[in-house]
Amino acid sequence: MILELLFCLVLVLYLKWIFISMMYICEALNVFYIHHKTNVLCKMMAVPYHVIEYMLRYGGSRFVMFNIAEIPSVHFRRLLYKGLGAQIEKNVIMHFRTEIRGTYKLKIGEGTIIGDNALLDARSGLYIEKNVNLSSNVSIYTLQHNYRSKDFGCDFDKDLSVTIDDRAWLGCNVIVLPGVHIGEGAVCCAGCVVSKNVAPFTVVAGIPAKKIADRPNDIFYEFNGKSCRLY
């Protein structure tokens, strides 16, 4: 009985990673099609991805991303994200359980650190520059429902991209809303909700986030891409 249960468990895990591998390839082909929409062959290669997503009610790619986020190797995770179109420079650390939406519109500059449980919504474009530090549980959104809309739709026709400039620091549990630009060296204190642009070297806090202090503008640190222990 025990051997049978172990066999079933191994089989389930084996099938799970077969599906993840196949779905990853399909999604990578779809990203390739997004960049070459006029190519008929590329469009045909993207068909399996859309068929599977339709059958799974668009849960397949999210399932893949959740599992990639728990792979132990930082380097391998970064490689897999880049395979789905993300532009990630060297010395970037992305900790466990990072959820990315719209990887092909994500750009992360050299030396940036992404904390545990980050939500990076890049569907309208997310541009994180060099040596940025995101603490744990940071959520960044580039799309949201329009409560004024009769069908509760999203504003796909607006530029709601988010840009975070060099050496900005977002504390734990910070929420960044669509269309925000966070300036160089700015600090968003823990738990704040950033709904408007943040000027360079400004410290903001609260809900909604408001200026509470200034940061020295002579900072020059650079992260080397080495992950430190959290215990």
Residue 175: which H helix or E strand, with range?
strand 175-176
Whole-number Å distance between alpha carbons of 182 and 162: 8
For 207, the token pair is 């809900």
How big is the chain, counted in residues?
231
Percent of the chain with pLDDT over 90: 79
Range scoring the smallest mean pLDDT among 77-81, 158-162, 216-220, 225-229 = 225-229
The DSSP secondary structure of 74-109, one letter per residue, reads: HHHHHHHHHHTT-EE-TT-EE-TT-EEE-GGGEEE-
Sheet holding 113-114, edge to edge: 93-94, 113-114, 133-134, 169-170, 187-188, 202-205, 210-214
Residue pLDDT, tens place only, 179-194: 999 999 999 999 999 9
Residue pLDDT, tens place only, 21-37: 999 999 999 999 999 98
Q: So where are the chain's domains?
A: 1-68, 75-217
| Helices and strands in the chain, H and E counts | 5, 17
Q: Which residue has the higher pLDDT, 200 or 231?
A: 200
Inter-residue contact 31 to 85 (CB < 8 Å)? yes
- φ, ψ (nearest 5 deg) of residue 79: -65, -40
Residue 155: is its pLDDT beyond 60?
Answer: yes
Other residues' Cβ atoms within 10 Å of the Cβ of residue 136: 18
Residue pLDDT, tens place only, 122-150: 999 999 999 999 999 999 999 988 888 88
Pick the CATH number of 75-217 from 2.30.30.100, 2.160.10.10, 3.40.50.450, 3.40.50.1010: 2.160.10.10
Longest dimension (CA), the chain: 67
